[in-house]
Amino acid sequence: SPPHYQPSTSHRGTVPKSYTPPHSDIRQKPQRERLPGKKSQPEIEPSCSTRESSNFLDQSVDMGQPKEKKHRKHSSSHKKSSRDSSAERRSQKAVLSPRVKLLPKIESESVRVSHIKSPHEIYIQNLTFVTSVEHFVDMCSDVAQQQVKTEDILTGEMYLLKDIIGDNEKWYRAELKTYNSAESLYEMRLVDFGNVRKVTKSRVRTCPEILKKQPRGAIQCSLYNLHPRKGKWTDEVNCLLSELVQSDTITKMTLGTDGDVHLVDLIVMKNLTPISIRDTLIKVNLAKSITTTDHGMNQLIFELNKFINAAHSASPKFYAQTVTAGGYFAPKVIHIESLVEFYVMKALDIPMYENQGRAMDQHYENPKNMMDRVYSPEIGMPVALNYNDHWHRGEVIGIMGPLQVQVQLVDIGTKHTVSLRSLRILHSDFMKLSKGTIACALVHIAPTEHHNFQWPPEALETFRALTSTNNLELFVHSHHPSNNNFFNVTLYSVRKDKNISINAQLVQLEFATSTGSESIQ
């Protein structure tokens, strides 16, 4: 049966509000968008932009006995711990590594993300550790005062490392990653957070056995069966990851382990909706899924997907305008793509939609409402988009390149390819009105052979001029045969003595060929 998931709030408020994860005074974080009012994000290692992809689908990894701990003195060459080396050797293949051990069923746990290097190297802390972390760091700091400086810093050994935040000094458990002899700096990872520090030997002390025996506070996780789109993970990916994990509720769904690395998906709550971080990276074209031939893994994935689909509620959809074949109404032409694709609004409805537009501008001027970002777009999803300095209702009609989506403004008809970051959740108050525009095609006309069966710019300009008046009448014939969202129509220019068919006028001006009676004057 699928794992039981509850987006409970029982753990909220248990994290000490005064606690701040250790901060580096050496590294610079990559530049990323910071939204006003957000709480501090997990640290990101900038090296991800040059790091080759890693994955647990690799036959070349050794069989699963843990490697013997080796004690080596540092040398002038850069050396890595066995933990980091194995993480970097994993490469994508369709067969599970022999090191992978799958769980009988998916295990779920509420967690906090403390550090991100890439989707294959995310460090998480369980909430039991989070509630006691401040006390544990204070204990390490007290113990460190009684420890001596170490003569040799060895790979695979645990030490206490001093980190300085402003005027405060704190000590943390750490392991050696590499040594830079040119700068006499040791690159060490904080085992309870995942962060990396570059320090001199003077900031390292021996670690007593009683602290070494305590479980690691940070667990390294990898999003399962995932590969970067462009062969390596970029800062763009990590920035999105960092924003996604800014959630009061994060659930770690574990499928198995690859050595010390947990193979997981992370479920976060965004706008009261559970979102799979792995699926989101795939949706926005920053990653691609890897298929595996392993039956056990596929069964776990099936159960996980069934659970995610059950927990995820489909986005609401816009209502379409009520249009009756054989009926007339007074229209206003809002947007023209061609003579067989243009968008009109019922003239009587215009004040209602103008009022809604003013209400949207007022709503999204509030910085709090600007925080409601869209992270996991879906075709047909209603969104809010700022266009020409005004907020509009939009509908996602395509997911393009990485973090790029195509949106159609439903009260105008225009289509725009925009950054995912520019979209906001559409408030339910703005879902009450149906789509403002009606998609239309002039009936009984076709492009001329003289213009290579295309609509020339002059035809669009003429059509725009003919429809710029407020004295129009539209007759609905039927749904368009190739697109049920469009209506075949005749547009009339209303005169004192009679109505003039604009369909027929375009034929008379030789911008179109008549294909039926509605385009004959």
Q: Domain map of the chain by residue range? A: 44-62+73-311, 353-433
**Cβ pair 240, 282 in contact under 8 A:** no
> For the segment 74-100, what is each residue's pLDDT rounded down to a tens digit?
444 444 444 444 443 444 445 778 889
Per-position DSSP letters for 142-190, written without gaps between them: HHHTTPPBPS---TT-EEEEEEEETTEEEEEEEEEEEEETTTTEEEEEE
Cα–Cα dist 28/196, whole Å: 12
Q: How confident is the model at residue 118 (pLDDT cuts 50, 70, 90)?
A: very high
Within 8 A by CB and 6+ apart from 388, the residues are: none
Residue 165, pLDDT score: 75
* Reported confidence tier of residue 42, pLDDT bands at 50, 70, 90: low
Surface-to-core class of residue 343, CB atoms within 10 Å of its CB (0-12 exposed, 13-18 middle, 19+ buried):
buried
Q: Which amino acid is at 136?
A: F
Judging by DSSP bridges, how do beta strands 43-44 and 100-118 pair with one another? parallel
Query: 353-433 has which CATH code?
Result: 2.30.30.140
Using an 8 Å Cβ cutoff, are 411 and 436 in contact? yes
Q: Cα separation of 373 and 311, whole Å?
A: 20
Q: Which residue has the higher pLDDT, 405 or 38?
A: 405
How much is the mean pLDDT over the chain? Answer: 83
pLDDT, tens digit, 9 for 90 and up, residues 292-323? 889 999 999 999 999 888 877 778 899 999 89
User: What 3-state DSSP class applies to 275?
Assistant: strand
Fold for domain 44-62+73-311? OB fold (Dihydrolipoamide Acetyltransferase, E2P) (2.40.50)
* 324: helix, strand or coil: coil
Task: Retrieve residue 174's tokens.
Answer: 């750490």
Q: Rounded to whole angstroms, how far apart are CA atoms 452 and 467? A: 25
